[in-house]
């Protein structure tokens, strides 16, 4: 498979006001439906390991068949687009501000990973498909996707004041590191580097706290964009799947951190480590130890902060365990 073009990915909308506006207009029946979705989401977590993915098949007049696979169409979730029966020469896939081209190539699986960022505003989205053969557009169709609202929990935390109001001398460091991270997440391998299913990076007490609104020292600060797994300091942390290490550094907020590129825009990160055991540029295998757990950076005790992105879209890492790659 070849990704011929990539533009910006993910449905990222920073206008929280729009979000509030949307919620205010919702009728009661929709709110009850949304509450049901939230509850079913919590229950599916309890049935860990059960295949919770949903799928939808799209057939075209050209004979091409696509499968859309997702856990839930909600903020913070990935969406797989698989070209399961390729007849045409090329498939163009357009979603939000992103566009992708897949080439008909029987030697490789042909799919895309799209990410609905944790801050995505709920509502109707359109996925457009174009099929081209012999240089001619042979079919064009739109698939409507209804992104449902998701109610994330809130949590108050007390941390060292230097992380809430960073001292002046570290402001330049924070800026430099945020630019570095933006650069790291802006380009990914055009080939899928992962192999088989994704795995948990470590066994431990897992908090499904993805999307939690965090209030540090009584000041609302940020959204928690990963899950935390409590493990003792020194516990081995494993790669969730194969890929290339694109960062292995000590950062102000996330402490000693490893980021792995799995290809097609999918990245996993491992933070607050006490020791880095992987180097930037290194290819790692699924399950390979990339570091030891710790409590470096903005952390209240030894744990792994595990996060996943599809380019800049921040998604729930636990979703990868259920999608059936």
Contact set with Zn ion (CB under 5 A): 228, 305
Question: Closer CB to Zn ion, residue 143 or residue 230?
Answer: 230
The minimum distance between CB 228 and Zn ion, in angstroms, equals 4
On the CB side of 193, CA atoms within 13 Å amount to: 25
Q: Between 125 and 309, whose beta carbon lies closer to Zn ion? A: 309
Going by C-alpha positions, the residue among 72, 71, 93 that lies closest to residue 82 is 93
CB of 231 to Zn ion, least distance (A): 13
Q: How far is the CB of 211 from Zn ion (least distance, A)?
A: 11
Residue 69's alpha-carbon distances to 66, 73, 124, 134, 323, in angstroms, are 10, 10, 17, 29, 7
Q: Give the residue with the Cβ less far from Zn ion, 9 or 269.
A: 269
> How far apart are the C-alpha atoms of 111 and 93, rounded to whole Å?
10
78 three-class SS: strand
* Encoded tokens for 185: 């997440």
Beta carbon nearer to Zn ion, 143 or 223: 223
Between CA 225 and CA 223 the distance in angstroms is 6
Q: Is 301 in contact with 295 (CB distance < 8 Å)? A: yes
Q: Which two tokens stand for residue 187?
A: 């380009």
Contact 81, 66 (CB under 8 A): yes
Q: Which is nearer to Zn ion, 228 or 316 (CB)?
A: 228
Is the Cβ of residue 12 or residue 305 nearer to Zn ion in the bound state? 305
| Cβ-contact 302, 321 below 8 angstroms | no
- Smallest separation (angstroms) from Zn ion to the CB of 243: 21
Q: Which residue is nearest to Zn ion (CB)?
A: 305
Separation of alpha carbons 86 and 316, rounded Å = 30
Residue 307: CB minimum distance to Zn ion, A: 8
In this structure, what DSSP letter does residue 269 have? Answer: E
Cα distance between residue 174 and residue 298, in whole Å:
13
Q: Considering only CA atoms, which of 112, 111, 219 is closest in space to residue 157?
A: 219
- Answer whether 226's CB lies under 8 Å from 208's CB: no
Whichever of 64 and 228 has its CB closer to Zn ion, that residue is 228
Question: Shortest Cβ distance from residue 305 to Zn ion (Å)?
Answer: 3
Q: What are phi and psi of 85, to 5 degrees?
A: -135, 105
Q: How far is CA 73 from CA 31, 109, 141, 152, 307, in A?
A: 16, 23, 20, 15, 19
Report in angstroms how near the CB of residue 178 gets to Zn ion at its nearest. Answer: 17
Per-residue tokens: 223:
């959204």
Q: Which helix (H) or strand (E) holds 280?
A: none
Rounded to the nearest whole angstrom, what is the least distance from the CB of residue 82 to Zn ion in the complex? 31
Residue 169 CB, nearest distance to Zn ion (Å)? Answer: 25
Q: Which is nearer to Zn ion, 79 or 318 (CB)?
A: 318
Name which of 226 and 243 has its Cβ closer to Zn ion: 226
């Amino acid at each position: 498979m070849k990704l011929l073009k990539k533009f910006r990915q993910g449905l990222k909308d920073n206008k929280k006001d729009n979000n509030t506006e949307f919620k205010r207009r919702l009728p009661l029946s929709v709110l009850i439906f949304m509450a049901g979705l939230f509850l079913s989401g919590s229950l599916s977590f309890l049935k860990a390991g059960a295949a919770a993915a949903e799928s939808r098949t799209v057939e075209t007049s050209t004979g091409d068949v696509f499968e859309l696979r997702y856990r839930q169409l909600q903020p913070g979730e990935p969406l797989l687009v698989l070209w399961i029966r390729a007849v045409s020469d090329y498939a163009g896939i357009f979603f939000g501000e992103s566009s992708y081209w897949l080439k008909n190539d029987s030697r490789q699986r042909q799919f895309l990973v799209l990410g609905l960022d944790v801050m995505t505003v709920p509502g109707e989205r359109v996925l457009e498909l174009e099929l081209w053969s012999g240089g001619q557009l042979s079919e064009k169709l739109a698939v409507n996707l209804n992104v449902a609202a998701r109610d994330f929990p809130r949590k108050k935390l007390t941390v060292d004041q230097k992380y809430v109001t960073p001292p002046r001398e570290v402001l330049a460091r924070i800026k430099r590191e945020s630019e570095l991270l933006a650069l790291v997440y802006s380009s990914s391998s055009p080939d899928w580097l992962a192999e088989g299913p994704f795995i948990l990076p470590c066994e431990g007490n897992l908090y499904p706290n993805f999307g939690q609104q965090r209030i540090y020292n009584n000041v609302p600060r940020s959204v928690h964009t990963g899950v935390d797994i409590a493990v003792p300091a020194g516990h081995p942390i494993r790669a969730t799947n194969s890929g290339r290490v694109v960062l292995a550094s000590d950062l102000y907020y996330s402490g000693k951190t490893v980021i792995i590129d799995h290809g097609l825009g999918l990245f996993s990160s491992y933070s607050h480590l006490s020791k880095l055991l992987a180097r930037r540029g290194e290819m790692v295998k699924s399950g390979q130890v990339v570091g030891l757990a710790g409590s470096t950076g903005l952390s209240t005790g030894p744990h792994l902060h595990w996060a996943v992105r599809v380019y800049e879209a921040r998604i729930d890492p636990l979703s990868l365990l259920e999608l059936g790659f």
